[in-house]
Amino acid sequence: AQTVTQSQPEMSVQEAETVTLSCTYDTSESDYYLFWYKQPPSRQMILVIRQEAYKQQNATENRFSVNFQKAAKSFSLKISDSQLGDAAMYFCAYRSSGNQFYFGTGTSLTVIP
Amino acid sequence: SAVISQKPSRDICQRGTSLTIQCQVDSQVTMMFWYRQQPGQSLTLIATANQGSEATYESGFVIDKFPISRPNLTFSTLTVSNMSPEDSSIYLCSGIGAIPNTEAFFGQGTRLTVV
């Protein structure tokens, strides 16, 4: 079974600075999809960024980018120019070829003004 | 991506009663899932809702406690039956489309408190 590990339960960053959230996963599949979700106190899960495993190029969405290392099974999220609205719980997720989703335990991000 | 409307957003219920949570999707989805989430923790999959057939439950969850219906491709319900305080949690529904690289999208969640 696939597992997703987020080793940082809590992180903090100064406003306007950069922070990196870590994620590793374990799988025997070659084709899969990876996601980062943000969950603010409102509870709504919001997609931040996605990465297809077959793509070598790292995905980027405005201030959010990933460092995808397929051989190392690592998928970290970098948030640049952090804003107060980035404060939330962040979940790394893996979508298997069988359409099951596996979520990490989450990283709580605090943005310090 | 699709939008899921989930209701109620929160409820406080007496132990021994049942609560039905509804999720309506604005487009057809191939798969729908129900999760439970304790505040500040990750999502635990309860079951996969299958259209027109019995849901597929994960270990530790049973149909008698969490009956699920999915009469069509855009609607599903989860009932939390014979509730106890241990059932207090956030319940989330989720759906995915047929295209492999698309994300899962989520309802707004239901915060359930059992007293």
Whether residue A36 is predicted with pLDDT greater than 90 in this model: the reply is yes
Residue of B21, B58, B101, B110 for testing the chain A interface, max A β-carbons within 10 Å: B101
pLDDT of residue B100: 66
pLDDT of residue A43: 87
Q: Under 8 Å CB-to-CB from A88, ≥6 apart: which residues?
A: A38, A39, A40, A41, A108, A109
B107 to chain A, minimum CA–CA distance in Å?
A: 7
B106 and A93 in contact by Cβ < 8 A?
A: no
Retrieve residue A13's tokens.
């960053």
Q: Which residues of A touch B108 (CB under 8 A)?
A: 42-44
DSSP state of A85: G
Q: How many CB pairs under 8 A join A and B?
A: 50
Q: For residue range A101-111, list pLDDT tens digits in order.
A: 999 999 999 99
pLDDT of residue A7: 96
For chain A, what is the mean pLDDT? Answer: 94
